[in-house]
Amino acid sequence: MTTPWGLPDFDDHEAIHFVTNEKCGLRAIIAVHSTHLGPAAGGCRFWHYAKDEEALVDALRLSRGMSYKNAMAGLPLGGGKSVILANEEKTKTPDQLHAFGKAVEELGGRYITAEDVGISVSDMIEVARSTRFVAGLPNSPGDVGGDPGPHTALGVFLGIKAAVKWALGKDSLKGLHIALQGAGSVATGVALHACAEGARLSIADVDEAKAKKLAKRAGGQVVSPDDILALDADVLSPCALGAVLNETTIPQLKVPVIAGAANNQLATPEDGERLYDRKILYAPDYVINAGGIINVCTEYLGDGDASVVRRRIEGIPVRLEQIWSEGAETGRDPASVADAMAQRLIGRA
Catalytic (active-site) positions? 81
Pairing mode of beta strands 40-41, 111-112 = parallel
For 186, list phi and psi in degrees, rounded to 5: -70, -45
Output Rg (C-alpha) for the chain, integer angstroms.
19
Exposed/middle/buried for 257, CB within 10 Å: 0-12, 13-18, 19+?
Answer: buried
Which of these, 52, 2, 61, lies nearest to 27 by C-alpha position? 52
d(C-alpha 64, C-alpha 80), whole Å? 7
d(C-alpha 41, C-alpha 176), whole Å? 36
Q: How does DSSP assign 286-346, residue by residue?
A: HHHTTHHHHHHHHHHHT---HHHHHHHHTTHHHHHHHHHHHHHHHT--HHHHHHHHHHHHT
Q: How does DSSP assign 181-226, residue by residue?
A: E--SHHHHHHHHHHHHTT-EEEEE-SSHHHHHHHHHHHT-EE--TT
d(C-alpha 82, C-alpha 205), whole Å? 25
Exposed/middle/buried for 340, CB within 10 Å: 0-12, 13-18, 19+?
Answer: middle
